[in-house]
A and B are shown apart, each in its own frame.
Chain A
């Protein structure tokens, strides 16, 4: 069965600093991975996805993630964060026709 572990429940960071949100997965079959963002009291919005091909995936709002098969990781990165990036971020893996989500990481950007 597929599963996803987000290693940090909260990540505080100062504005304009780089950030990495960690995600590890467990899967015995081909892997499709996703990162979603949720702003307060809103639904989820897709940031980026890995389906195949290049292991470095670029998404919206300046985010990128790298698929690392040997380390079974799909960490999300941004070189310089803004206050507006404060939100909860979810890593997810496709399992059949369902998505399995991690517990989420709250990114708090401080000025």
Chain B
């Protein structure tokens, strides 16, 4: 069966510090991968998605970047965090070629920037 992992689960970082959040998927190959941010009182905002190694699409201009160094690994990064980067970050995957692209979500990372 497929599983999706995210770490760390929680993170407190000072403004201006770097960020690296990791997401890995097990039990499937060639997944589409997604990063979402959920800010307090707001819905889910799609930040990045990837259809393959090294292929990243950015949905909104922002202080963050994403990379996919391996087929089942998706990394969210920042060189200098802003207060507005605080939120709950969710990674998700779908099976490539799925006719309806049901997304499966990881447990999330709670990021607090102080």
Contact = CB atoms under 8 A, between A and B. Distances in A.
Interface of A: 32, 34, 36, 41-46, 49, 51, 90, 94, 97-104
A18 B39 CA distance: 29
Contacts of A46: 102-104
Nearest to A44: B105
Contacts of B11: none
Contact of A97 (B32, B107, B110): B32
A98 B49 contact: yes
7 contacts: A34-B102, A43-B106, A46-B103, A51-B99, A98-B101, A99-B103, A103-B42
A49 B100 contact: yes
A45 B110 CA distance: 18
B49 A97 contact: yes
Interface in B23-64: 32, 34, 42-44, 46, 49, 51
Interface of B: 32, 34, 42-44, 46, 49, 51, 88, 90, 92, 94, 99-108, 110
A90 B44 contact: yes
A41 B10 CA distance: 10
A30 B86 CA distance: 36
A55 B104 CA distance: 23
Nearest to B41: A9
Contacts of B102: 34, 46, 49
Contact of B105 (A43, A98, A103): A43
Contacts of A36: 105
